[in-house]
Structure 1
């Protein structure tokens, strides 16, 4: 019983989908979903709250409310630049531009509630199933792979696989397809080599090349490792399975 459980724990991560959703900004700050931000700073757990219908950084907002100083104007400019999409400073306060509303000024008054205006058409604030979010740097979206960009409007096929295999997919007519030499549901089956010899389900790369299909050039002065990770991992899995499942 325990041996089976241990085996599952060891290999469960290998079975999980390894698509890379966009969950940080371009400086790797974790995006905070707007729908998880509480009403009022007293309930804030991450330093932000919705106050009077707008997204506020509680530390700065509280300072501003208690004692008006020259720093207040800096915060209003910070808020319009980083916590609003269509905001402007007017009479010393950050407000939504005409026809825009919502906590981050990204809801268009002429569209159904919660919608924005994108290419003159009412649309979700985040395209392709994304979730509106923010960091102290910007308002942008959490995106489901393979989508990227501020509002999940850019296809990023490299997000379909873990970093070491992000070249398995390529963009073809706004769709992700397997790169040359690969096939399968996850594009993880090698069927051809660009600069090497196909042998037993893997590529033996020519000198100076590396990668699953030998498509990558080696770094000058650095020797490339053998291309047999799938076979080694498969053998290791089989051996451990035989030991634990006796």
Structure 2
């Protein structure tokens, strides 16, 4: 059994049973499952399809079932940045339908939870950086920005494939919803700015996203950073709140506030 962000994951044969974190809204989870099933069945496909399009109750929690997939191996010279960028651009091209339109993605809520934990644990540098974040970092979207389907918790660990020669797909729909697609670029942008992702990898990711028509960014050669900066800063704050012993992340937070 694996535990991740309050969720519990059990693998039985070729089926993954995910017990979602306490407090998960079963109605929102059902909408998210049906989005994944819909997108997996239509077009080029970008999300892994669940084995059932509704969750099962387990006490006061909810469980979903998924096919077992291979995730990205942490081999720096083989990371699928280009494939990831194109998957995100494909997801961001999807317009929400019906009840999906009322489902916000989960990035700001997850950021708030992490920052509150940092405050309670005495993470003064991280909390100060959080307090200095611009207003856009606390919203799922803005009126002057695209409102599309957003993964809501994207990083390279959120890619999976059924077999080694199968295409990568986006996995983990816990924070899937509607909002500004720039949020899905937040973590790689923030980690690149903090010196944790090489320039070459960032350039490959950025170019592939734009080449695939990703709507989060202005077309090249326009500078993407004015769009990405608030979300990149939020991603670094979130990561530092969850990893208070990571000196590089904490130092990046300190630079945000001039400490």
TM-score (norm. length: structure 1): 0.21
Q: Which has the higher strand share?
A: 1
Higher relative contact order (CA 8 A, sep 6+): 2
TM-score (norm. length: structure 2): 0.20
